Amino acid sequence: MNKEIFVTKDFLTKIKSIDPTTIGAWGVMTVHDMVEHMSDSFRQANGKDIHTEILTPTENIVKLQAFVLSDKPMRENTKNSLMGDVPPPHRHEQIEDAYVELEGEIKDFEATFASDKNKTIRNPFFGDLNYELWIALLYKHGTHHLRQFGIQE
């Protein structure tokens, strides 16, 4: 599997293939919540949402980045300390508008790294990530949520 093609081209198609009324196998997110959540992830990766702090202890960053590059999937019900127990209100009333937002964030991610794949953008949990690490993280995160809604990569 080419993770870069999956993240930049195939992910949006797969996400749109999920019936918006599908109930997740775990967690409290709806499909609409998950689409907006993934837009947030791409907004971190494209540098629009800036994080100055790394919440993970420095001594754990190398291990976490190795996990990102591994084939080991994210666990079900993985907690994100930056999120509450319930998803935030939708930014978009219609899920179609959330798809459009996600598509734009993906394109902006590609544009951000187009001229410099070694550029780094900080992730609050995984540290300073270059393009390769962001692709690996977005792949792992995206497939995690696709599995949540019954789509196997």
Transcribe 116-138 into DSSP letters.
-TT--EEETTTEEE-HHHHHHHH
Predicted confidence at residue 136, as pLDDT, reads: 98
For the chain, the structural domain boundaries read: 3-15+28-75+89-148
Domain range 3-15+28-75+89-148, CATH architecture: Up-down Bundle (1.20)
CA 90 – CA 122 distance, rounded (Å): 25
- Tens of pLDDT, residue by residue over 25-69, are 999 999 999 999 999 999 999 999 998 999 999 999 999 999 999
pLDDT of residue 40: 97
Asked if pLDDT for residue 111 goes beyond 90, the answer is yes
